[in-house]
Amino acid sequence: MKYELNSLRQNRGGSGWLFQALKETKALSGMKSPDIPCIAFGGSENAIVDLPAIRNRMTRWPNSTFECIEGAKHELLAEKPATRVDMLKKIADLFKSVEKAA
Protein backbone atom coordinates (compact mmCIF):
# COMPACT_ATOMS: atom_id res chain seq x y z
CA MET A 1 0.00 0.00 0.00
CA LYS A 2 2.85 2.40 0.78
CA TYR A 3 4.18 2.03 -2.77
CA GLU A 4 0.80 2.92 -4.24
CA LEU A 5 0.54 6.09 -2.14
CA ASN A 6 4.06 7.20 -3.01
CA SER A 7 3.38 6.51 -6.67
CA LEU A 8 0.25 8.67 -6.57
CA ARG A 9 2.10 11.51 -4.85
CA GLN A 10 4.86 11.51 -7.44
CA ASN A 11 2.50 11.64 -10.41
CA ARG A 12 -0.16 14.10 -9.29
CA GLY A 13 -0.58 16.77 -11.90
CA GLY A 14 3.10 16.96 -12.85
CA SER A 15 4.22 17.39 -16.43
CA GLY A 16 7.30 15.18 -16.13
CA TRP A 17 5.49 12.30 -17.82
CA LEU A 18 4.59 14.55 -20.75
CA PHE A 19 8.19 15.66 -21.21
CA GLN A 20 9.34 12.02 -21.18
CA ALA A 21 6.62 11.00 -23.65
CA LEU A 22 7.53 13.81 -26.06
CA LYS A 23 11.22 13.00 -25.73
CA GLU A 24 10.57 9.33 -26.53
CA THR A 25 8.29 10.23 -29.43
CA LYS A 26 10.99 12.41 -30.96
CA ALA A 27 13.57 9.64 -30.62
CA LEU A 28 11.22 7.07 -32.18
CA SER A 29 10.35 9.38 -35.08
CA GLY A 30 13.93 9.27 -36.28
CA MET A 31 14.15 5.49 -36.24
CA LYS A 32 13.55 3.21 -39.19
CA SER A 33 10.15 1.51 -39.16
CA PRO A 34 10.30 -2.19 -38.32
CA ASP A 35 9.73 -4.71 -41.09
CA ILE A 36 6.39 -5.92 -39.76
CA PRO A 37 2.83 -5.18 -40.88
CA CYS A 38 1.09 -2.38 -39.02
CA ILE A 39 -2.32 -0.76 -38.90
CA ALA A 40 -2.94 2.57 -37.19
CA PHE A 41 -6.14 4.48 -36.62
CA GLY A 42 -6.83 8.11 -35.86
CA GLY A 43 -10.00 10.08 -35.30
CA SER A 44 -10.60 13.05 -37.57
CA GLU A 45 -11.67 15.10 -34.54
CA ASN A 46 -8.65 14.15 -32.42
CA ALA A 47 -7.34 17.22 -30.61
CA ILE A 48 -4.60 15.41 -28.68
CA VAL A 49 -2.17 13.87 -31.16
CA ASP A 50 -0.65 15.17 -34.39
CA LEU A 51 -2.46 13.24 -37.14
CA PRO A 52 -0.22 14.60 -39.94
CA ALA A 53 2.81 13.25 -38.05
CA ILE A 54 1.12 9.84 -37.75
CA ARG A 55 0.24 9.86 -41.44
CA ASN A 56 3.82 10.80 -42.26
CA ARG A 57 5.20 7.94 -40.19
CA MET A 58 2.83 5.45 -41.76
CA THR A 59 3.85 6.50 -45.30
CA ARG A 60 7.42 5.55 -44.34
CA TRP A 61 6.37 2.20 -42.82
CA PRO A 62 6.39 -0.64 -45.36
CA ASN A 63 3.27 -2.80 -45.34
CA SER A 64 1.31 -0.40 -43.18
CA THR A 65 -2.14 1.16 -43.26
CA PHE A 66 -3.49 4.30 -41.65
CA GLU A 67 -7.22 4.78 -41.34
CA CYS A 68 -8.75 8.07 -40.32
CA ILE A 69 -12.12 7.51 -38.69
CA GLU A 70 -14.39 10.36 -39.64
CA GLY A 71 -15.96 12.17 -36.70
CA ALA A 72 -14.04 10.16 -34.07
CA LYS A 73 -12.01 11.72 -31.29
CA HIS A 74 -8.94 10.46 -29.42
CA GLU A 75 -10.34 7.50 -27.49
CA LEU A 76 -11.24 5.34 -30.47
CA LEU A 77 -12.27 2.32 -28.42
CA ALA A 78 -14.74 4.55 -26.59
CA GLU A 79 -16.47 5.53 -29.82
CA LYS A 80 -19.71 4.07 -31.17
CA PRO A 81 -20.00 0.26 -31.03
CA ALA A 82 -19.88 -0.02 -34.84
CA THR A 83 -16.59 1.93 -34.89
CA ARG A 84 -15.08 -0.30 -32.20
CA VAL A 85 -16.21 -3.50 -33.89
CA ASP A 86 -14.84 -2.40 -37.26
CA MET A 87 -11.46 -1.43 -35.78
CA LEU A 88 -11.13 -4.60 -33.72
CA LYS A 89 -12.03 -6.74 -36.75
CA LYS A 90 -9.31 -5.04 -38.81
CA ILE A 91 -6.78 -5.53 -36.01
CA ALA A 92 -7.74 -9.22 -35.66
CA ASP A 93 -7.49 -9.66 -39.44
CA LEU A 94 -3.98 -8.19 -39.37
CA PHE A 95 -2.96 -10.59 -36.57
CA LYS A 96 -4.42 -13.54 -38.50
CA SER A 97 -2.57 -12.56 -41.68
CA VAL A 98 0.72 -12.33 -39.81
CA GLU A 99 0.09 -15.66 -38.09
CA LYS A 100 -0.58 -17.35 -41.47
CA ALA A 101 2.62 -15.90 -42.93
CA ALA A 102 4.76 -17.22 -40.04
Q: Where are the domains of the chain?
A: 36-102
Tell me what percent of the residues of the chain surpass a pLDDT of 90: 69
Distance CA 58, CA 40 (A): 8
CB 66 within 8 A of CB 42: yes
Band of residue 12 on the pLDDT scale cut at 50, 70, 90: low
Q: What's residue 29's pLDDT? A: 87
Q: What's residue 11's pLDDT? A: 54
Element (H, E) at 64: strand 64-69
37: pLDDT strictly greater than 80? yes
Q: What is the mean pLDDT of residues 68-94?
A: 95
